[in-house]
Amino acid sequence: MGSLLIMILAFAGYLIMYKLYGKYIGYKIYQLDDANKVPAVEMEDGIDYVPTKKEIIFGHHFTSIAGTGPIVGPAVAIIWGWVPALLWVFVGSIIMGAVHDFGSLIISMRNQGKSISEYTSKYINPRTKWFFFLIVFIELWIVVSIFGLVIAVLFKMYPSAVFPVWMEIPIAMALGWAVYKKNVNLTSWSIYAVVLMYITVGLGLVLPFNMPAMFGISPIGIWTIVLFIYAFFASVLPVTTLLQPRDYINSHQLLIAMLLLTLGVIFASFGGNLNIVAPAVQSTPTGAPSMWPFLFITIACGAISGWHSLVSSGTSSKQVRKESDSLFVGYGSMIMESVLALFVIIAVSAGIGMGMEHNGETLVGVSAWTTHYASWAAAKGLGSKVGAFVLGSANMLAAVGIPQKLGITIMGVFVASFAGTTLDTATRIQRYLMSETFPKAFGNRYVSTAFTLLLATFLVFSTGANGKGALTLWPLFGAVNQTLAGLSLIVATVYLKSKGGMKWVFTGIPAVFMVFMSFWATIVNQTKFLQGNVLLTIINFIIILSILWIVVEGIMSFMKVKDTGEAQFESNV
């Protein structure tokens, strides 16, 4: 099956399922009603709670949930073959990921925009809240810490992306000022902003920047410090100042990138140069773990990811202006992220075969793919994963007439911009989590943000001045993240059980699947950690106990709650 046919069939499938399944989930299962009060209106404060047009909040939500996740995961998982990767991305996103994201968003909106760990106290019990808090805290700690490293590595890989990525900040702030203070036309001014941003992309080609080492700290460490300083201000500023306009620009950048990639697939296919060179299925690649369960852990964003429940119940639930908008924001964003993952699969299974330089030689076809994916060790590094996507995409853009060097810069800026969004969104969400859980100590947003970033800085430099300390806990992330997805679905299942009938089935089945797969992966990881990594062994063991506790408590709450279970919930607060 050619890449063009795959793209057309997937596009049609996404559109049909959004119209049919998505709307059924929204209006029949969750019974969306614009008469219900939403936190953005009821608790509006101009800083975190701000009623926002659905197009703008869609931009924020999508860019926050995406980051590098839908790029990195599929670019690694292709080593098991393009068929299992494609099936999981398409099916997983429709019946699991989008349901998970939308459910987390609407339940939070019906609970004053509280985070998932907070409303877990209501729908299961207060004891479970603390175990949920532990898992969420660890995940956010890793995300904030690792994304400083991720962006620093991207800047090192693509120095021409540094200038446009940083220039996006003043452009976004100017757009926010014009829209909210001067009431200018959003559509026309956002177009001006995007055009200006792409001018900076061109300038980035002639103004590349390589960060030098300073004070005995590596360039990656210096970049991480700079990024954390930026994240502090981005997290405490009102969402209308930077977060919303920057993410809105990023959403336009996404649409442009997807349009270019769509044209690239079409032109390259008709030119006869875009052929799938990755194997359909490769169950035992060299050095790789078993496809089961690790395919479902490796591809998270793009199919289903626990991180999304944190964004849904963190920033987005405080900005959606009416319940009907939540379907477009929650379910729609996940579908769009899956489309991005689809393009990644095409880029790394076919685009990379259009040409790759290796040791002074140009490789094409199967030889290009097998050289890049010679083994698990060769394919799993960040540079290798992102590089495969950027190179494959640039090859396809070249078929449209865009020079490869410019194509690489465009895609490098695209990836780095999304990673930056994830960094400061995660910082803001961790701030919410701390202030909700410990209001007396961390009620002040400056204090909670500073604590979040100081803790991340400690982890980043825990192994020295190279700034790579976050990699210490990174092996935990995949299983923890997917565990969170399963646990979030458990909470949604208990919630829907109270609404009567069999509504809970739509979240219950995905919950069982995700908890089983993630717990399986956690146990496999534990057997590896026991071979000498004491720190990961201890933390992973605590996570295992937390999972078991939440699952048992969730099942008990599910069995107890009746169709009129709201009164039971209230008694647990």
Query: What digits encode the pLDDT tens for the residues 461-495?
Result: 999 888 889 888 989 999 999 999 999 999 999 99
Task: List C-alpha distances in Å: 375 to 96, 114, 260, 378, 380.
Answer: 30, 44, 31, 5, 9
Where residue 327 falls among pLDDT bands split at 50, 70, 90?
Answer: very high
Q: What is the pLDDT of residues 72-129, one digit of tens each?
A: 899 999 999 999 999 999 999 999 999 999 999 999 999 999 998 888 989 998 888 8
CB-CB contact of 482 with 514 (8 Å): yes
338 in Cβ contact with 164 (< 8 Å): no
Q: What is the pLDDT of residues 192-245, one digit of tens each?
A: 999 999 999 999 999 999 999 998 999 999 999 999 999 999 999 999 999 899
* pLDDT per residue as tens digits for the range 132-158: 899 999 999 999 999 888 899 899 889
Q: Residue 126: is the preceding peptide bond cis (ω within 30°)?
A: no
Distance of alpha carbon 112 from alpha carbon 214, whole angstroms = 45
Distance CA 264, CA 183 (A): 37
The model's pTM: 0.93
Token pair recorded at residue 9: 């069939």
**Mean pLDDT for the stretch of residues 4-13:** 96
Kindly report which listed range (46-55, 149-158, 383-392) carries the lowest average pLDDT score.
Answer: 383-392
- Model confidence at 2: pLDDT above 90: no
> Comparing 149 with 431, which gets the higher pLDDT?
431
Out of 2.60.40, 1.10.3470, 1.10.4160, 3.30.200, select the CATH number for domain 3-571. 1.10.4160
Question: Can you tell me the distance from the alpha carbon of 446 to that of 230, in angstroms, rounded to the nearest whole number?
Answer: 13
Name which of 483, 459, 484 is nearest 469 in CA terms: 459
Give the residue from 311, 320, 166, 175 showing the smallest Cα distance to 241: 175
C-alpha–C-alpha distance, residues 169 and 387, integer Å = 25
Sorted by sequence, the CB contacts under 8 Å of residue 312 that are 6+ apart come out as 61, 101, 102, 104, 105, 108, 330
List the chain domain ranges.
Answer: 3-571
DSSP string, 268-318: HHHTT-----S-S--SS-TTPPPHHHHHHHH--TTT--HHHHHHHTTTGGG
| pLDDT reading at 409 higher than 60 | yes
* Nearest residue to 2 (alpha-carbon basis) of 207, 230, 252, 271: 271
**pLDDT mean across residues, the chain:** 92
Q: Do 232 and 450 contact (CB within 8 A), yes or no?
A: yes
Q: Tell me the pLDDT band of 571, cut-offs 50, 70 and 90.
A: very low
- 536 vs 374, more confident: 536
Cα separation of 469 and 451, whole Å?
Answer: 18
pLDDT value, residue 568: 47
